[in-house]
Amino acid sequence: MMISNPVFSEVIDPRLELIENTKDLRYADLKHMDLKNKDLSGADLYGANLSGADLYGANLSGADLTNAKLFGSVLQYAILTDAILNNADLSGANIYEADFENADLSGASLRHTYSYKTKFFNAILTNADFSSANFCGQLLSGKDLSGSNLSDADLHRANLSYANLTKTILTGTDLREATLHGANISGNDLSNALLSGANLSNANLANTILIGADLRNANLTNAVLTNADLS
């Protein structure tokens, strides 16, 4: 007797229906979901778990992602303009060419993130954790990064002109050939810093510790070095 193969209906993730029908996604479990190009603008994602989610090209403009878990997520080309990301965890996320214009990332973790041409225009970046992040060549001119952790971050050739880097952690930060023209770095410990070829013209380096720093071919024209320790 021949038994026909059973026909299985396509299994649809019930979480997709939730996303389609409501903007109230507080503490929602959305981890590892395929959310490519989804419209989540204005959604309340407070405390939501989006770890490992694929948000490629998703629209998260104006969304509340306070305390959200986004570690290991794909945010490439995602729109996060005006989004609230206070204390959100984006560690290990791919933020290539994502748009964070006017977003609030204060206190957020961006450890080990991968950035390329990411837009941070008017974004709030104070007290954020950028440790071990790859921001090579990233445009961060004029940004207030005060209180942030940039230890072991790759900022090689990044543009940090006129940035506020006071009270930042710069241990092991790669700033080779970075543009720091007019930046305020005063009071920081830059011991053994990698600053070869960096443009530090007009930068404020008052009261900094530069013991063992590699300043070969660095441009220090008109830099303020009052009480700096270069021993």
The domain ranges of the chain are 47-129, 136-230
CATH 2.40.50.140 fits 47-129, yes or no: no
According to DSSP, residue 197 is labeled T
Residue 211, pLDDT above cutoff 80: yes
Q: What is the pLDDT of residue 12?
A: 64
Q: How far apart are CA 185 and CA 171, in angstroms?
A: 13
- Write the CB contacts of 5 (distance below 8 Å, at least 6 apart in sequence): none
Q: Which class in CATH covers the domain with range 136-230?
A: mainly beta
Q: How many helices (H) and strands (E) does the chain have?
A: 1, 0
Work out the average pLDDT over 31-56.
97
When pLDDT is averaged across residues 30-54 and rounded to a whole number, the result is 97
For the stretch 99-129, pLDDT in tens is 999 999 999 999 999 999 999 999 999 999 9
80 falls in which pLDDT band (50, 70, 90)? very high
Query: Looking at 5-9, 185-189, 221-225, which range is the least confident one?
Result: 5-9
CA dist., res. 120 & res. 123, Å (int): 5
pLDDT score for 8: 47
Task: Write phi, then psi, for 65 (nearest 5 degrees).
Answer: -115, 30
Q: Are 131 and 151 in contact (CB under 8 A)?
A: yes
Cα distance between residue 92 and residue 191, in whole Å: 27
Residues 6+ apart with CB under 8 A from 115: 95, 96, 133, 134, 135, 138
Average confidence score pLDDT of the chain: 94
**Average pLDDT, integer, range 139-151:** 97
pLDDT at residue 21, rounded to an integer = 79
Residue 214 has pLDDT above 80, yes or no: yes
Residue holding tokens 């933020």? 95
How many CB atoms lie under 10 A from the CB of residue 78?
29
Give the length of the chain: 231
Matching CATH topology for 47-129 and 136-230? yes
